[in-house]
Amino acid sequence: MPHFFEYSDAFTKLGVFTASFSNFFLIYLTIYHIKQIGGTYKYMVLIFAVTGVAFSSWELIARPFTHNYNRAFILFSLNTWMENSEFFLQVSVSIYAGFYLFILAFFAEQFIFRYLSLVDPHKTNIFGGWGVIGWIGYPLVCGAIYSVLLMWAGNPDEYSDEYLRETFAEIYELDISITPRFIFVPYAADNSLRWRNLSFMLGGGFLLSSQYFIIIICGARMHIAMRRELGNFSVPNRRLQKQFFRALIVQTLVPTCLFVLPALPILLGPLFDFEWNVQTGGIMALLSVYPPIDAFVFMVIVAEYRRVICRAFCKTKTVSMKSTEVFII
């Protein structure tokens, strides 16, 4: 059986490099060159870019990987240079998992902000001043709940370790007892439910679906409001609102397609009576390329970023300059 996990380190390092370059470039452009984005939304863009770098960098420490075996799912760390810090690495893996909830909750907030900016711009004032604590705190709380739930519900016990011990040693040549890990075996030997493991699937599923519910509702209302309200904006601001909307949609679809949809059979597989023994950690490699894609998508869709980049790298071409009316909420 191919040891896919042996190549995951290369994907991780590539992800850190590309994420750092693309997101720091986005930060530089946003601070020094972009004039059409200001106020609260500018801080949102900057914080999201910093989150992308932190997410990729933390993966170097956590080195998460997954494996599915029959009715069991294990999330563990492949970190070998901190092998004597089992608890720290276990916490690191849980923080890495919480990062994704943070990102998704932050997207949900941006959908709310963009919707309010369309239908009632004055209400966006709640995101300023002390409101900053709220819109930063909400994704932090969601991520923290997910991390704590993972640590509590996935904490291994004797039954779960024995269920995976043999296959884990055969494939990864590791002793499962000393590997930083979270194991989910929803059924006991007598087919009774192990509710502690199931609570993560239920609770984590609720947290994920709640963010998508907000995104879908606000996205649909934004689409309707854009047809109704955009006539009240100037042409440059109308164009900019459409670009922000498209960027949010694409930025939400990318992690959904790269991680959420591929992860569903991995997370839900233990609930069914499948006989499989699969290194499913390749999904982590897919997720590692998300942060650079996210920054790239935003810079491609929002026209002012494209114009700034063209001025810097396309000196021989004449760049059409449209109105630079400042759009600040």
pLDDT tens, position by position, 290-314: 888 889 999 999 999 999 998 877 7
Is position 321 within any domain?
A: no
Domain-located, residue 327: no
Q: How many domains does the chain have?
A: 1
30 found inside a domain: yes
Residue 282: what pLDDT? 79
Position 259 pLDDT exceeds 90: no
pLDDT score of 251: 87
Return the SS3 of 324: coil
Q: How far apart are CA 126 and CA 123, in angstroms?
A: 6
Burial class (CB in 10 A: 0-12, 13-18, 19+), 271: middle
**Residue 128's closest CA among 142, 141, 140, 116?**
116
115 φ/ψ angles, rounded to the nearest 5 degrees: -65, -45
Position 5 pLDDT exceeds 80? no
Residue 291 covered by a domain? yes
Query: Is this model's pTM higher than 0.85 or not?
Result: yes
Q: Which pLDDT does position 315 carry in this prediction?
A: 58
- Under the banding of pLDDT at 50, 70 and 90, the label for residue 327 is very low
**Mean per-residue pLDDT, 103-128:** 90
Pairing mode, strands 72-77 and 181-184 = antiparallel
Q: Is residue 119 part of a domain?
A: yes
- Check residue 162 and give its pLDDT: 95
Question: Is 322 among the domain residues?
Answer: no
Of the listed ranges 18-32, 71-85, 115-129, 221-235, the least confidently predicted one is 221-235
Residue 319 falls inside a structural domain: no
pLDDT at 158 over 50: yes
Written in H, E and C, the secondary structure of 62-111 is: HCEEEEEECCEEEEEECCCCCCCCHHHHHHHHHHHHHHHHHHHHHHHHHH
- Domain ranges, residue 306: 4-313
pLDDT tops 90 at residue 95: yes
State what percent of residues in the chain have pLDDT above 70.
91
Mean per-residue pLDDT for 322-328?
39
Q: Does pLDDT of 326 surpass 60?
A: no
Distances (CA, A) of 284 to 28, 198, 271, 328: 28, 22, 21, 37
Q: What is the 3-state secondary structure (H, E, C) of 147-172?
A: HHHHHHHCCCCHHHHHHHHHHHHHHH
Domain-located, residue 215: yes
CATH number at residue 21: 1.20.1070.10
Q: Which of 71-75, 87-91, 321-325 has the lowest mean pLDDT?
A: 321-325
Q: What are the tens digits of pLDDT across the range 175-225?
A: 999 999 999 999 998 989 999 999 998 999 999 999 999 999 999 998 888
